[in-house]
């Protein structure tokens, strides 16, 4: 083996060791962090609904009970997306007046099964929304849904109060 070949073998071995050490550190750190409990201070009412936004599979408003943890909230929201920064979450405890509002469906992120909860949207229209979104990109305004085959003015007016385009 000449000198250059030994260099590359050594460099590859060192890179391999660094990668293994990084993976071990990541796994150790992830397992070492205990769940963060969601608690209320004595004398304050415990809010049952918490809004979670950001890089979770299904952002929205989720009911929690005393003793639940942030991990429970993440599980309810479908878990983190692959691109999520685990060190940052946006949690919001809405005011009592906001808690009575219905959760909206993000037509730019929702899968077909979730779109079907909207009034007048069955499996065929939900699939058409997903296909249109995949071909043409995200919807920028509710009126963009009129371009989806099968969605007319009446359907749009029925679903408008229940949808969002994301942030």
pLDDT digits (tens, 9 = 90+) for 49-77: 777 777 778 887 777 766 777 777 778 88
Mean pLDDT check: name the lowest of 8-12, 90-94, 135-139. Answer: 90-94
Token pair, residue 66, equals: 């005393």
pLDDT band at 157 (very low <50, low <70, confident <90, very high): very high
Task: Please give the pLDDT value at position 93.
Answer: 62
Q: In this model, does residue 2 exceed pLDDT 50?
A: yes
Residue where the block lists tokens 């509002």: 101
The pTM assigned to this predicted structure is 0.43
On average, the pLDDT of the chain sits at 77
pLDDT band at 142 (very low <50, low <70, confident <90, very high): very high
pLDDT band at 42 (very low <50, low <70, confident <90, very high): very low
Helix (H) or strand (E) holding 97: helix 96-99
- Cα within 13 Å of Cα(149), Cβ side: 6
pLDDT band at 134 (very low <50, low <70, confident <90, very high): very high
User: 165: which residues sit within 8 A by CB, 6+ positions away?
Assistant: 106, 107, 108, 138, 139, 140, 141, 142
């Amino acid at each position: 083996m000449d000198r250059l070949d030994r260099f590359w073998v050594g460099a590859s071995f060192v890179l391999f060791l660094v990668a293994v050490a990084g993976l071990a550190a990541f796994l150790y750190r992830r397992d070492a962090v205990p769940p963060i409990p969601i608690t209320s201070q004595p004398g304050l009412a415990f809010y049952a609904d918490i809004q979670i936004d950001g890089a979770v599979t299904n952002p929205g408003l989720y009911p929690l009970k005393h003793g639940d943890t942030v991990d429970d909230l993440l599980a309810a929201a479908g878990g983190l997306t692959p691109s999520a920064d685990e060190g940052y979450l946006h949690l919001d405890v809405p005011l009592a007046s906001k808690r009575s509002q219905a959760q909206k469906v993000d037509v730019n992120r929702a899968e077909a099964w979730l779109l079907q909860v909207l009034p007048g949207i069955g499996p065929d229209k939900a699939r058409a929304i997903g296909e249109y979104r995949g071909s043409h990109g995200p919807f920028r305004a509710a009126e963009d849904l009129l371009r989806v085959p099968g969605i007319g003015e009446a359907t749009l007016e029925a679903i408008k109060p229940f949808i969002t385009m994301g942030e």
